[in-house]
Structure 1
Amino acid sequence: MRSTTTKAFAGVAVLALALAGCGSNSGSSTKSADSNAKLSYSINEQAATNLKDGGNLNLSIGEITPQLNMFQANMTVDTSTLWNWYNPQLIKFTPSGDMKLDKNYLESVNSELKDGKTVVTYKINDKAKFNDGTDLDWTAFQATWQANSGKEQEYNANTIDGYDQIDSVKAGDNAKTVVVSFVGPYPWYSSLFNNVLHPAVNSADIFNNGYTGGTLASAHPEWGAGPYALTGFDANAGVVTFERNPNWWGDKGKLDKITYTVRADVQAQVNAYKNGEADTVETSTSELLTQVTSVADTDIRRGTRAANYLLTMNSKSELLSDTAVRKAIATGINRAQLQQVLFQGLDYSEAIGGSLTLYPFQKGYQDNLSKVVAKTDTAAATKALEEAGYAKGSDGTYAKDGKALSLRLPLFSSSTTSKAMYQAFQTQMKAVGIDVQIIQKSSKDFSTTVKNRDFDLLISGWASTDPNGVAFFCQKFCSDSTLNKSGTGTAELDNLIKGPGGLTSLQTAEDQESKANELEVQALGTFGILPIYNGPEIFAVKKGLANVGAGVYATTRAQIGDFPENIGWQKD
């Protein structure tokens, strides 16, 4: 699956270095490549045999996105959250980043190098099929590759990274054996085909538009598969339900019913948890955390978050088309101060991050941003504006050609901590001579705002569902990226990434990591996107709920730390 996906900034902190005090119940920590970092998780990890048969699960979600195809460019994390409950999820990653197969779908995955080219063979469970009776076989892999390969420009895919390196997808000895051959070596094959499309998604029109419409029919439950079926979908009421799937051949789901209710505001989500209307809630700020710690039968589950929160500067906006302005913002922002606001009261701190490719706990991580912007320097930021021809007005705001630097920054949360962090950034920019207008919006408006680039500045998150950050380097930095909304990619960088002798042509994972670090310095130097923080992942969870919480790659804020059939309530 894709390594990253956009998501709304909810005023909550995210992933990183040494976490203080793991949450209760079956947490774990493992040392990483950085001796100062720990990879931590807490999901109440339980085998399916330890779970009750029955019970309901009630959860909150930010929005029911207009686009329900998780492979399509306009998806968000909320899209994939719903998708994974009723569509095939073949592969997940454990909190430590190891590939985990759902044996109900896949019997094995094996790779080999043949004549310098990676070849991966997938053995599919003979019983695997979609809800409409169509066999889940090599044609599902072929449809997924076709939509995400980049060969047909009409498909508006979230990312083509990896899929564009495939030469062919064919049946092996039988239709339940898939042989995927790459054009050369590809060390990141585990990131691909974690999810697959129904073979009926065989045209760009179906791919782009078939999952829109906001109805149960347009969500296409018949094209799904898994222990749960999509049985209720009311976009107006903001309620989606899943129940046990009578067409499922595999291990029986433990839950009777899963219900997602749209609660667009983080405080509404906290209130729902406190009132017993939701079984989990994200509480990664002190103001939220303090509200739930005294709620009866509550576990606080903490872990490392595999996500980057970043500032996007929209170069398509007239005022930000000038690199000098974007550089002034990058030079004037004080990320340490913003982190202090966000992490206050959490008993947590992290080093200032400098990469959107690898995390501080991963081998190969480097602080690449420090090679572009060495430190916060307000004086240097204002000097850069003046050298570019901007003059300070009587109100302290710089202007050029009669146009003042007044920029729109949408805020998708009512959290006091969120507002305080935005206001701190606003003050920092005022010192530079840039006016930032904070525009309050509902989280339900997030996907539309991002899709339409209806912002000058944007603070949002990119979450990773696997540890192979280098595999998705192009998704983040190529000029045709649908994820990176800064519009600052260049043809020169594209060539260095995917051209002859470029990043994707290198033989080993180590060589690609080294090259990615080198190229990220150049990419960050276009001043389009800027990492702000990672942060901790903190959830309040009802005691007894198993395999849910802070699970690093396994959860990516959706909180679900295992395959759907392994989610449930622990036996007494």
Structure 2
Amino acid sequence: MDASTTARRLGRATALAVAVALAVTACTSGGGGSAGDVAKSEPPRQDSQDINAKPLDQVKDGGEVRLPLYQWITQWNPFQVDGRYGDAVEIMRALEPDLFTTDASGNFQPVADYLQEAKITSTSPQVITYKLNPKAKWSDGKPLGYLDFKADWEASNGKKDGYNIADSSGYELISSVEQGADPTEVKVTFSEPYADWQNLFRPLIPAAGIGTAQDFNQAWVDKIPITAGALKIGTADKTAQTLTLVPDPAWWGTKAKLDRITFRVMSQSATTQAFLNNEIDLATAGTAAAYGQLKGAKDAVIRAASPWDDVHISFGQGGALADQKVRQALGKALDRSSLIKIANNGVPVEFKALGNHIFMPNQAGYQDNSGEWAKFDLAAARKLLDDAGWKDAGSGQPRTKDGQQLELHWVINDSTPQAQLDLATAAAAMWLAAGVKVDLDKVPANDFFTKYVNPGKFEIASWRNTDSFPLSTSLTNFRLPVGDNVFGNYSKLGTPEIDALLKKAAGTLDPAEAAKLYNQADAKIWELGHTVELYQRPVVVATRKGLANEGAFGLGSTDYAKIGWEK
């Protein structure tokens, strides 16, 4: 099941933020087709990548690679609440200092172009000392330094008015940022231990670009004022919906291989024909329709890997859904196995039910905490609705309470392919069997996140979260909102207990002990009726034959500077 918008790299917002991740995405998939009986393989291993990895001496200098972009990017500041769209975060990590990348197993690796060293130099209190590459400079000529780290911390720690931040996790635990022994050394001191410190300052944003709340929120809208990467923006044509990245001649490291990377905005369903027409060099093949057309296409190579990528159904917190029993009833009324079969139809990699909001099944620490909350039990769902005061109105009719019908709205991206519509239609029929009427409301693709998901203006919505790791990024996905800031918790549902468990886990340096706390929090998230997880989604893509260092990255980071064509 594919998605048309993605939160990756920074988590749920993430995706990611990140982004993030998270990067967020309307969970979407092409449907039906004659490929329903395609042989299924096991999901790829956690540490697998399928990117046609080639050393740089086997990659041509020059040329162009054309990639799809699923939404025009407006906010480029990845620390700002609207800047967590997944593709935006991934591109920003090619244009700004990405101090650490992740390898195929999801482990952090320092980037020598920016860091000579970064390590814990004290544990009580926790102090991280960064030794910067003295060659590293911003595009305005200033060297990277402690003032950039300090500005990013002060902007993101939640203590400054007017800064509409995406996530304060980790930053709120920093007590000081200072220059070390010389201008290339930065000392970051924490008030409490923080296990995932390597995920902070990713990417590093220049102090000159976020010195005021106005700059933080607006200076990165439709522009990137300062960069420090192997690539820079070549052109950004909003009318034509095309964006190009080109090598930055001021770059001090290994020159990017390509002359140009061109992104074109299109829906994921449109990538199939665009690939067949030789208009792009990578297309999603994670749907029956797409896979069926792309698997035998000339010059196409199918690639697959298992990233942090979940498909889920989220509930809002208004109206009838303010009652936890109603949300729990919606979870119990769903036959997840049937819904997953709809999404998996015709796709060559098996989709398995997901029982955790924080861990993927191929991550150490995973356990299924869904318990009774994701177990299909129509009688129990009806009992919960009875207890919530919603009276049964007979077969096929919505329940009533105080003269109102139990009718909810599922917001759907209007570029959603057929399989996701089939899944949503099937879910709505399951809910109606319990006495809940659910209408499917299509909205414009460019509005789906900005007008509905991000501000939490939905009753039911479905999208993907990608790369919600390290584990501490889960805090932003499920923490209680503060004022108007929902962080990455678009449902706006949470409890102080969940917040406390996630914060304690993030400060626990022993991975086994941290996993216990994360799983305790996850069990509470299931009970809350926040989100019904469906499955971990393997990435399945078609790439042009000869395309090197691009494809399905699994838990690893994309390095746009290494992408190119085989010699």
Both structures adopt the same fold (TM-score exceeding 0.5):
yes
Shift of 1:564: 2.6
2:259 equivalent to 1:256: yes
Change over 3 Å in CA distance of 1:351–1:388 after alignment to 2: same
Matching residue within 266, 269, 286 for 2:268:
266
Change over 3 Å in CA distance of 1:535–1:496 after alignment to 2: closer
Change over 3 Å in CA distance of 1:465–1:228 after alignment to 2: farther
Native 8 Å contact 2:344 2:351 kept in 1:
no
Residue of structure 2 in register with 1:529 after alignment: 531
Residue of structure 1 in register with 2:498 after alignment: 493
Native 8 Å contact 2:167 2:487 kept in 1:
yes
Residue of structure 1 in register with 2:56 after alignment: 48
Residue of structure 1 in register with 2:3 after alignment: none
Change over 3 Å in CA distance of 1:295–1:504 after alignment to 2: closer
> What CA distance in whole angstroms lies between the structure 1 residues aligned with 2:359 and 2:146?
32
Q: Give the 5 Å matches for 1:130-529.
A: 130-200=138-208, 201-212=210-221, 214=222, 219-220=223-224, 222-263=225-266, 265-315=267-317, 317-370=318-371, 372-373=372-373, 375-393=375-393, 396-412=397-413, 413-448=415-450, 449-464=452-467, 466=469, 468-469=470-471, 471-480=472-481, 481-498=486-503, 502-529=504-531
Identity of aligned residues (%): 28
Q: What is the one-letter code of the residue matched to 1:433?
A: G
Q: What is the one-letter code of the residue matched to 1:311?
A: I
- Show CA shifts across 1:3-55 (max 9, x none): 53242224249xxxx98279xxxxxx65xxxxxxx543211112222211001
Native 8 Å contact 1:52 1:570 kept in 2:
yes
Native 8 Å contact 1:406 1:436 kept in 2:
yes
> What CA distance in whole angstroms lies between the structure 2 residues aligned with 1:93 and 1:190?
10
2:41 equivalent to 1:20: yes
Q: What is the one-letter code of the residue matched to 2:562?
A: N
Change over 3 Å in CA distance of 1:19–1:245 after alignment to 2: farther
5+ unaligned residues in a row in structure 1: which ranges? 23-28, 31-37, 556-560
> What CA distance in whole angstroms lies between the structure 2 residues aligned with 1:194 and 1:482?
17
Residue of structure 2 in register with 1:33 after alignment: none
Residue of structure 2 in register with 1:25 after alignment: none
Change over 3 Å in CA distance of 1:49–1:549 after alignment to 2: same
> What CA distance in whole angstroms lies between the structure 1 residues aligned with 2:538 and 2:498?
32
5+ unaligned residues in a row in structure 2: which ranges? 1-8, 17-21, 31-38
Shift of 1:257: 0.8
Tell me, what secondary structure is at the counterpart of 2:283? strand
- Show CA shifts across 1:422-477 (max 9, x none): 111111111111111112234322221212333210101111164x21x1232122
Residue of structure 2 in register with 1:11 after alignment: 28
Change over 3 Å in CA distance of 1:511–1:19 after alignment to 2: farther
Matching residue within 72, 82, 85 for 1:64:
72
Q: What is the one-letter code of the residue matched to 1:361?
A: N
What is the root-mean-square deviation of aligned Cα atoms in Å?
Answer: 2.2
Residue of structure 2 in register with 1:567 after alignment: 563
Tell me, what secondary structure is at the counterpart of 2:172? helix
Native 8 Å contact 2:411 2:440 kept in 1:
yes
Native 8 Å contact 1:408 1:456 kept in 2:
yes
- Show CA shifts across 1:103-129 (max 9, x none): 2112222224433x3222222111111
Native 8 Å contact 2:196 2:506 kept in 1:
no
Change over 3 Å in CA distance of 1:94–1:270 after alignment to 2: same
2:131 equivalent to 1:109: no
> What CA distance in whole angstroms lies between the structure 2 residues aligned with 1:381 and 1:568?
53
Change over 3 Å in CA distance of 1:10–1:325 after alignment to 2: closer
- Show CA shifts across 1:341-365 (max 9, x none): 1111224334421111111111111
> What CA distance in whole angstroms lies between the structure 1 residues aligned with 2:121 and 2:402?
60
Residue of structure 2 in register with 1:35 after alignment: none
> What CA distance in whole angstroms lies between the structure 2 residues aligned with 1:505 and 1:452?
29
Native 8 Å contact 1:85 1:242 kept in 2:
no
Q: What is the one-letter code of the residue matched to 2:498?
A: L
Tell me, what secondary structure is at the counterpart of 2:373? coil
Change over 3 Å in CA distance of 1:252–1:141 after alignment to 2: same
- Show CA shifts across 1:51-104 (max 9, x none): 110010111111113322122112311321332332222221012112223221
Change over 3 Å in CA distance of 1:274–1:494 after alignment to 2: same
Q: What is the one-letter code of the residue matched to 2:100?
A: I
> What CA distance in whole angstroms lies between the structure 2 residues aligned with 1:410 and 1:105?
42
Shift of 1:373: 1.5
> What CA distance in whole angstroms lies between the structure 2 residues aligned with 1:497 and 1:348?
32
> What CA distance in whole angstroms lies between the structure 1 residues aligned with 2:207 and 2:419?
45
- Show CA shifts across 1:259-318 (max 9, x none): 11111x222221111111111011111111111122211110011121122211100x21
Native 8 Å contact 1:313 1:457 kept in 2:
yes
Normalising by structure 1, report the TM-score: 0.88
Tell me whether 149-158 or 403-412 shows the greater mean CA deviation.
149-158
Native 8 Å contact 2:308 2:466 kept in 1:
yes
Native 8 Å contact 2:331 2:374 kept in 1:
no
> What CA distance in whole angstroms lies between the structure 1 residues aligned with 2:312 and 2:457?
17
Normalising by structure 2, report the TM-score: 0.89
Tell me, what secondary structure is at the counterpart of 2:555? helix
Q: What is the one-letter code of the residue matched to 2:131?
A: K
Native 8 Å contact 1:104 1:128 kept in 2:
yes
Q: What is the one-letter code of the residue matched to 1:365?
A: Y
Native 8 Å contact 1:121 1:177 kept in 2:
yes
Native 8 Å contact 1:93 1:465 kept in 2:
no
Tell me, what secondary structure is at the counterpart of 2:244? strand
Shift of 1:229: 1.3
Q: What is the one-letter code of the residue matched to 2:98?
A: Q
Tell me whether 76-85 or 168-177 shows the greater mean CA deviation.
76-85
Residue of structure 1 in register with 2:550 after alignment: 548
Tell me, what secondary structure is at the counterpart of 1:444? helix
Native 8 Å contact 1:141 1:193 kept in 2:
yes
Native 8 Å contact 2:313 2:463 kept in 1:
yes
Tell me, what secondary structure is at the counterpart of 1:460? strand
Q: What is the one-letter code of the residue matched to 1:391?
A: K
Change over 3 Å in CA distance of 1:496–1:295 after alignment to 2: closer
Residue of structure 1 in register with 2:95 after alignment: 86
Q: What is the one-letter code of the residue matched to 1:531?
A: E
